[in-house]
Amino acid sequence: MSDEFNPRILGFLCNWCCYAAADAAGVSRFQYPPNLRTIRVMCTGRVDPSFILRGFIEGADGIFTGG
Amino acid sequence: MLTNADLQALEGNAGDFTAKIRQRPRYIDADACTACGLCTQYCPRHHVDPYNEGLSVTRPIHIDYAQAVPATYYIDPSSCLHLQHDTCQICVPVCQSHAIDFSQKPKEIELNVGAVILAPGFGRIDQSTLAKFGYGSHPDVVTSFEFERMTTASGPFMGEVKCFSDGRHPKRIAFIQCVGSRDLGCDNGYCSSVCCMYAIKEAMVAKEHDPEVDITIYYMDIRTQGKEFDKAQQRAEAMGIKFVRAKVGDITPWQNRLQLTYSTLEGGHEFEPFDLVVLSVGFESPRDARGIADITGIELNHYNFAKSETFQPLATNRDGVIVAGAFQGPKDIPESVTQASAAAGIAAGLLEKQRGQGIIHKDYPEEKTDTDEPRIGVFVCHCGINISSVVDVHQVEDSVADMEGVVYHTDSLYSCSQDAVETLKKTIIAHNLNRVVIAACSPRTHEPLFQETLKDAGLNPCLVEMVNIRDQCSWVHAGEPDAATDKSQDLVRMAVAKARKLKPLPAQTVPVTSRALIVGGGIAGMVVALTMAEQGFESVLLEKEKTLGGNLGLLNHTLSSSETAGYLKKLVARVKKNRKIDVLTSAEIVQTSGFIGNFSSVVATTVGKKQEEHTIDHGVVILATGGHEHRPDGYLLGKNSRVLTQQELEKRLAGRAKNRAPDSVVMIQCAGSRGDDLNYCSKVCCNHAVKNALKIKEINPDSQVIVLYRDMRTYGYAEDAYREARLKGVVFIPYELENKPEVYEKGRRLHVKFFDSLLQEEVDLTPDLLALSVGIVPDGTEELSKLLKAPLTDDKFFLEAHVKLRPVELPVDGVYVCGLAHGPKPVDETIAQAQAAAAKAAIPLVKGSVSVDPIVSSVDEKTCIGCGLCVSLCPFSAIEMIKVEKKRKARTIAASCKACGICASHCPTFAISMGGFTNEQINAQIEAFGRATKKETAEV
């Protein structure tokens, strides 16, 4: 394995904006690093602070919320 | 939906038309095409991409853009090698779903329809007009359409603005307004109404891309008359975008740049160098307008747009043929969307008797009762090669084999194809699956399809979970197959973890009270009531005054010289006579409770000294509360008898007084508006001033009429009247807000002192009359906003659910708005908006029930401590407090809930859960995410 830092990022994506934008990025074939694992929510209002803490407990190097 | 189709003939009458349609071949079987895009990759021929304004190339076999409807590719016969030269056909074997069909022939279709809606849009300004500004002869002169594609992130240059001549980034950009508009040189005397606003938008986008870029907009009048549009201009100015009132005479190459020659109001000629010049091109009538008119038998106006009149803005001269959008006249998106809804409502009225016919109800097998033991089936899709060319689909599929609860897994070439869906259904039944995970594309597009399949297989539709390994994985990590496979495995594992916790959720429907409450009995409210009645729905029409009519009663005629009194009288008579409309005058709404489909309001009426209260149950409420003239300070209004408002002047001019149109009249536009007292444009005042000025000239041709204005906003066809006024000698002089006209009394004379920007000196006049264009303020919106929890703009107009796409709906479901309560607007726009509000409000009434997505929130009464935090946070008023055994408890109003989950994330006792997005499910996903992390750490 390379020594390069390869962060694991957990993302919470709003169905209506950020998730849709991520789809659109795909349709447009924009390329971005494959470090993100996403969870779709119906609104980032759904993101309980405990989800973020739990993400870190589970080893996430960063949490991304898009909404 | 018939695309690629042309109307050939239209026979018959309203209610019974026969339309002959010719559908051109698509050469692709729309049912089989999965929009994977493989064909385009293999097609060897280039095709100039019209969607990108010719700035990029595509292939003859293509889809116009990612969001195109239907999401089906098509072959442009003009450049296809097979269709032109009988060769190639490479696409045929490439297409794995065998969708390409060169044997397709044009189809003749005959349709029996009750109403026809014409919405062909607008045409393009002729090249010869653009050539006057150097377009075509210099590469760095571009149209605003080209610039729009250029600045779009998903456009041909990925949002990079550059000069076509040498690819450099422009440092200085000029926008030239009114290209092909307000220009008799190209026979377009009208204003295209949208260009000022889009130029501001494009300039701001360009500035966001490159804050250093210097942008100047050269204009005659900035016409940002729409709701909140002035604020956009203010934002643009704050960003450093310059606005210069000037006429551009010439654009010539100068070194490697372009030199603009322009003349200003003061008469000076100036030169300015630019790197890029953007022409703000206007709207032309559709290219085939004449043909459409011949086929449908409708009349066109003198600009070749569809002819319509003020009081029936969407009607044509042929009954049953309705027009909407830019073909009715140049207009922006909100106006077009409004007209589209209105047209649909009018058509629904014509088709009222046929409503519900031809509907086929689908039967589903009985839903299996859920067992706790999850039996999960995982289906991984190749999507042709869209996924499998990057992601190792088999590895992903194998990775689920020993996951808890997974009893079946397979892969599929196209999960969404008809045969695959059928196989999915059979597999669910054969393996007795009770949870399904589909790793394929986006749930935003395909979840409904798979939910339907689950229903067909006797499962609750909420028991499917989709994993997006295409749009958000293989497509965006094309060069990293291993990492993409890893990511896919993680995402699938997270989905399986969630799937274990999925619960069947019952579909909820709420019955609807089939009655509308309309607040406001002006023209907007009356049109709503009549439009609803035409569709067969009852309404209660509330008017706070003693009589119906509102502001229309204060007008005498409209700019297009339609006389108002006769129309109003007929309208009131029709409303009163209509049995479906219950009119309550001297009435005010005191209390409202409930939600879409089930409102209950208390209305107080006053008859003489007697007060009465009525309780009205209604399914929807339409706010048409109107507005009134603003009374600004500082202009001696109400203090000097020579000073009056445009409305008062109109009344005076319609009277019989001998000196009603005196020899000297001054008008001041924007008195109290646009940053004076009110910070918005009232849209109607410029037209009103021109209308009154013309009337004065008609009565007394020798009268000197001087209009002091900031920007003359006679948008659309009103530009004709503005031109006529100038031809008749009305003098228009611009002023600046910082240097506004001063009105004072000296002796018995009234003085108006202002700086004349044409003469470049101070002028002091003593007019016989001073007419103020005072603007419009809304009536009673604040009280209603509190009652209905419907938000307002800063200017106290109701804020629509979506400014562009849902212009007559409020964020609170079941509440609609039209007329002046939404924003200042002229009579024709008010009528169209009222028709639109009626059409939208009729939707829940037609359905008879409101269906609720089962993803809404639900409160566990046992855990709820009744703190009320959720009630105060809910942006949709979808949670209420109720008493359960003397304790306060929160309860979701399912019909109003939008499933955002703000309540759930803030509940201090975790008493609120979201259907399909429970804490348990999301936590399971997070834990599953963690498992990979831990595995990796262990390996290291």
Domain assignment present for residue A4? The answer is no
Helix%, strand%, coil% for chain A, nearest 5:
35, 25, 40
Position of tokens 């979808």?
B878
User: How far A48 CA lies from chain B's nearest CA (Å)?
Assistant: 4
Count of residues in chain B: 940
Domain assignment present for residue A31? The answer is yes
Query: Does B505 touch chain A if contact means CB atoms closer than 8 Å?
Result: no
Position of tokens 């189709």?
B5
Q: Which domain holds residue A41?
A: 9-66
Nearest to B313 by CA among B834, B721, B829: B829
Cα–Cα dist B598/B176, whole Å: 52
Whether residues A40 and B443 touch (CB distance < 8 A) is answered with yes
Q: Domains, chain B, ranges and CATH? A: 25-105 (3.30.70), 123-284 (3.50.50.60), 376-506 (3.40.50), 515-626+779-847 (3.50.50.60), 630-775 (3.50.50.60), 856-914 (3.30.70.20)
At B369-420, the pLDDT tens digits run 877 789 999 999 998 888 999 999 999 999 999 999 999 999 998 898 888 8
User: How far A50 CA lies from chain B's nearest CA (Å)?
Assistant: 9
pLDDT score, position B429: 95
Whether residues A46 and B937 touch (CB distance < 8 A) is answered with no
Whether residues B901 and A40 touch (CB distance < 8 A) is answered with no
- Nearest by CB: B940 against A1, A23, A55: A1
Query: Does A24 touch chain B if contact means CB atoms closer than 8 Å?
Result: yes
pLDDT score, position B138: 94
- Nearest by CB: B154 against A19, A28, A38: A28
What's the pTM?
Answer: 0.86
Q: What is the ipTM of this complex?
A: 0.97
Alpha helices in B733-826 (DSSP H): 781-788
Domain assignment present for residue A25? The answer is yes
- Angle between the N-to-C axes of helices B481-500 and B919-939, in degrees from 0 to 180, rounded to the nearest 10: 140
Nearest to B11 by CA among B24, B23, B1, B21: B21
pLDDT score, position A2: 58
Domain assignment present for residue A62? The answer is yes
CB pairs under 8 A between A and B: 127
Query: Does B940 touch chain A if contact means CB atoms closer than 8 Å?
Result: yes
Query: Does A31 touch chain B if contact means CB atoms closer than 8 Å?
Result: yes
Count of residues in chain A: 67
Query: Does A10 touch chain B if contact means CB atoms closer than 8 Å?
Result: yes
pLDDT score, position B159: 85
- Nearest by CB: A22 against B471, B925, B929: B471
Cα–Cα dist B644/B660, whole Å: 12
For chain A, how big is the Rg over CA atoms in Å?
13
Cα–Cα dist B32/B626, whole Å: 52
Residues of chain B with pLDDT under 50: 940
In sequence order, what E strands does B538-632 have?
A: 538-542, 581-584, 587-595, 598-607, 610-618, 620-623, 627-629
* CB-CB neighbors (< 8 A) of A59 in chain B: 930, 933-934, 937
For chain B, how big is the Rg over CA atoms in Å?
32
How many domains, in total, are found in chain A?
A: 1
Within 10 A of B31 (CB to CB), how many other CB atoms are there? Answer: 11
Amino acid type, B161: V
Listed by number, the residues of chain A in 44-63 with a beta carbon closer than 8 Å to a beta carbon of chain B are 45-49, 51, 54-55, 57-60
Domain assignment present for residue A1? The answer is no
pLDDT score, position B607: 86
Query: Does A15 touch chain B if contact means CB atoms closer than 8 Å?
Result: yes
Amino acid type, B307: K
Whether residues A34 and B900 touch (CB distance < 8 A) is answered with no
Cα–Cα dist B325/B332, whole Å: 8
pLDDT score, position A29: 82
Non-local CB neighbours of A59 within 8 Å, separated by 6+ positions: A8, B930, B933, B934, B937
Whether residues A31 and B487 touch (CB distance < 8 A) is answered with no
Helix or strand holding residue A24 (H, E): helix A18-27
Nearest to B841 by CA among B603, B600, B531, B549: B531
Query: Does B926 touch chain A if contact means CB atoms closer than 8 Å?
Result: yes
Residues of chain A with pLDDT under 50: none
Domain assignment present for residue A3? The answer is no
Domain assignment present for residue A22? The answer is yes
Kindly give the pairing relationship between strand B16-23 and strand B172-179.
unpaired
User: How far B16 CA lies from chain A's nearest CA (Å)?
Assistant: 41
Nearest to B58 by CA among B40, B72, B70: B40
Non-local CB neighbours of A66 within 8 Å, separated by 6+ positions: A11, A12, A13, A14, A17, A18, A19, A21, A22, A44
What Å distances lie between residue A49 and B553, B631, B899, CA to CA? 57, 51, 18
* CB-CB neighbors (< 8 A) of A36 in chain B: 487
Residue of A nearest to B63 (CA): A27
Non-local CB neighbours of B245 within 8 Å, separated by 6+ positions: B219, B220, B221, B264, B265, B734
Whether residues A34 and B487 touch (CB distance < 8 A) is answered with yes
Burial degree of B927 (CB within 10 A; 0-12, 13-18, 19+): middle
Domain assignment present for residue A44? The answer is yes
